[in-house]
């Protein structure tokens, strides 16, 4: 039986992602774990996260999971979600600047205050709700119509140094990168586990993925 | 085309059943929360909010169980409000599968609770619920005040100033209910909604008073709300969520269909 490890480093509720993975493929053994050996042994790894980046990086560094993540992110199908995506970058502007895992070269930047939409209304931060995702070709978008809406909630976004690592963009109001891809790694800013049918399809695609882009 | 305006059906849950009262009296039974949540998910609800109106502490486990069940099969954001008083209440709801919690009277009683909650769990899951009533007379400049205890107890706090303070304390979203309109089916208090939405940089959900589909659209267009919340028009099958979204779209509002 194929297995997926959901990395538990104490940042937020992992119930939803675990349930959604199980729902996406009932044959997969889903394990919520902080155990490095379980993470290394899993076929697929999911790295979720909500909250603030400082606490996230502290938790990863203190537990030793930072090194485990750097290792498995190079070796097996790996999916970062939300704060888990931002933690993969070089650094983040949040909490006055925090060094991150540097798996993807790039930066997490804050949306500017007082941005206006087309009607002249001020755009709210966090960017919260269902936004359209414009795909760049990747196996994880299989059977998901381009510009499908996914659920977002975040105030910071990923700015990769290499634009070829952008696997999708969304507009708020300018286009920003909302998915990253490189080799066996994929990461999304939105929450597939909260994005109904299209989110479950993405998780199913991930569980079926061999890590070859 | 970009971010969609949200429609959020609200389930008032009492002892494990969905109920709906008019101005907190005359409570009618509207069914099983898990079944209703499933239906709303199918119809395209953007989120679901549960308001636990259970009076006694002993029955608190019931709402946790409801959230667990819904979160196992409905994969959209879930918010739980009602009786959230300490950090442990929040942890419990998030562990049960809620994505956000609504904090209401506990914030009025001790505003620092919102700060502590946002620091501990992140602003993205902290919704501050504001129950406001108009206290200015006709001809005066509009003024709304925060009320607690189901709209019975005035606090002397200005609603707009309160919303700004809650945002500064780390609230990620405001759920704004007009106690004058709640249960009346006469539409949102649009002046109130607009005043709060323009005063804060975080999303505002309009609530209280929806009786027809134009009211939902008005809340977005005139009230400048980011999301609209309604209960009875959906529970008693007067309208489906899909009808509501199509109507909003016909009035030029971007929705997820």
Q: Look up residue A102 and give its two tokens.
A: 């540097």
- The residue of chain A nearest to residue B172, with distances taken between CA atoms, is A126
pLDDT at A136: 98
Using only C-alpha atoms, what is the Rg of chain A?
16
Q: Does pLDDT of B59 surpass 80?
A: no
- Contact between B234 and B8 under an 8 Å Cβ cutoff? The reply is no
Average pLDDT over residues A53-67: 94
Domain-wise residue ranges, chain A:
3-208
Closest-CA residue to B236 (of B24, B20, B47, B87):
B20
Q: Residues A72-127: pLDDT tens digits?
A: 999 999 999 999 999 999 999 998 999 999 999 999 999 999 899 888 888 999 99
A10-22 per-residue burial string, b: 16 or more CB within 10 A, e: under 16? ebbbbbbbbbbbb
Give B168's contacts (C-beta < 8 A, 6+ positions apart): none
Share of chain B above pLDDT 90, in %: 80
CB contact under 8 A, A131 and B121: no
What pLDDT sits at residue A10?
Answer: 81
Closest-approach residue (CA) in chain A for B118: A51
List b or e across A109-122, with b for residues whose CB sees 16 or more CB atoms inside 10 angstroms. bebeeeeeeeeeee
Residues of A in contact with B75 (CB under 8 A): 16, 19-20, 23, 193-196, 199-200
Give A116→chain B minimum CA distance, Å.
12
Of A12, A113, A200, the CB nearest to B75: A200
So what's the architecture of A3-208 in CATH?
Answer: 3-Layer(aba) Sandwich (3.40)
**Separation in Å, CA of B26 to nearest CA in chain A:** 34
Please indicate whether, in this complex, the C-beta atoms of B75 and A194 are within 8 angstroms of each other: yes
Task: Label each residue of B11-77 as H, E or C.
Answer: EEEECCEEEEEECCEEEEEEECHHHHHHHHHHHCCCCEEEEECCCCHHHHHHHHHHHHHHHCCCCCC
Counting residues of chain A whose pLDDT is more than 70, the rounded percentage is 100
> How does pLDDT run across B64-75, given as a tens digit for each residue?
999 999 999 999
What's the pLDDT at B53?
Answer: 87
Q: What is the ipTM of this complex?
A: 0.94
* DSSP for residue A122: B
In this complex, do A171 and B226 lie within 8 Å of one another by their Cβ atoms? no
Residues of chain B with Cβ-Cβ distance to A155 below 8 Å are: 123
3-state SS assignment for residue A130: strand
Q: Which residues of B touch A121 (CB under 8 A)?
A: 224
Interface test with B, best of A151, A154, A178 (most B CBs within 10 A): A151
**CA of A121, closest CA in chain B: separation in Å?**
8
The confidence score (pLDDT) of residue B61 equals 87
Question: Averaged over A201-208, what is the pLDDT?
Answer: 98
Contact A13 B1 (CB under 8 A): no
Indicate if B46 belongs to the active site. no
**B103 — pLDDT class (breaks 50, 70, 90):** very high
Question: Which residue, A22, A94, A99, is CA-closest to A51?
Answer: A94
pLDDT of B176 > 80? The answer is yes
Establish whether B131 is a catalytic residue. Answer: yes
Domains and CATH numbers, chain B: 6-251 (3.20.20.70)
* Chain A CB within 8 Å of residue B252 CB: no
Distance from CA of A59 to the nearest CA of B (A): 13
- Does B3 contact A127 at a Cβ distance shorter than 8 Å? yes
Cβ-nearest to B71 among A19, A170, A191: A19
């Amino acid at each position: 039986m194929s297995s997926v490890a959901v990395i538990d480093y104490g940042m937020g509720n992992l119930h939803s992602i675990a349930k959604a993975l199980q729902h996406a493929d009932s044959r997969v053994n889903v394990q919520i774990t902080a155990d490095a050996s379980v993470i290394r042994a899993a076929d697929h790894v999911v790295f979720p996260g909500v909250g603030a980046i400082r606490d996230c990086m502290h938790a990863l560094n203190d537990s030793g999971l930072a090194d485990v993540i750097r290792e498995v992110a190079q070796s097996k199908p790996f999916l970062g979600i939300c704060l888990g995506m931002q933690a993969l970058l070089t650094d983040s502007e949040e909490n006055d600047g925090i060094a991150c895992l540097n798996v993807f070269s790039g930066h997490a930047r804050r949306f500017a205050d007082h941005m206006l939409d087309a009607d002249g209304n001020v755009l709210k931060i966090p960017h919260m709700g269902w936004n359209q995702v414009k795909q760049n070709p990747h196996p994880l978008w299989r059977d998901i119509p381009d510009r499908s809406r996914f659920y977002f909630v975040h105030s910071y976004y990923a700015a990769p140094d290499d634009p070829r690592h952008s696997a999708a963009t969304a507009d708020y109001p300018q286009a920003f990168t909302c998915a990253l891809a490189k080799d066996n790694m994929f990461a999304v800013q939105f929450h597939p586990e909260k994005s109904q049918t299209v989110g479950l399809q993405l998780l199913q695609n991930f569980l079926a993925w061999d890590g070859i882009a | 085309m970009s971010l969609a305006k949200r429609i959020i059906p609200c389930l008032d849950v009492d002892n494990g059943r969905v109920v709906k009262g008019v101005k907190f009296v005359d409570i009618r039974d509207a069914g099983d929360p898990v079944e209703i949540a499933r239906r709303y998910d199918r119809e395209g609800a953007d989120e679901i909010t549960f308001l636990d109106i259970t009076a006694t502490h002993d029955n608190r486990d019931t709402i946790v169980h409801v959230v667990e069940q819904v979160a196992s099969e409905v994969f959209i954001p879930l918010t739980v409000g009602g009786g959230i008083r300490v950090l442990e209440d929040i942890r419990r709801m998030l562990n049960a599968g809620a994505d956000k919690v609504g904090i209401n009277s506990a914030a009025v009683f001790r505003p620092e609770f919102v700060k502590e909650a946002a620091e501990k769990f992140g602003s993205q899951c902290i919704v501050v619920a504001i129950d406001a009533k108009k206290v200015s007379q006709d001809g005066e400049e509009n003024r709304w005040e925060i009320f607690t205890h189901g709209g019975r107890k005035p606090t002397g706090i200005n609603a707009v100033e309160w919303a700004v303070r809650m945002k500064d304390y780390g609230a990620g979203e405001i759920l704004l209910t007009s106690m004058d309109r709640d249960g009346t089916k006469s539409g949102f208090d649009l002046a109130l909604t607009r005043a709060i939405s323009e005063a804060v940089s975080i999303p505002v959900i309009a609530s209280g008073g929806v009786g027809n589909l134009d009211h939902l659209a008005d809340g977005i267009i005139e009230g400048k709300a980011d999301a609209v919340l309604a209960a009875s028009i959906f529970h008693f099958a007067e309208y489906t969520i899909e009808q509501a979204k199509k109507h909003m779209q016909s009035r030029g509002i971007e929705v997820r269909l």
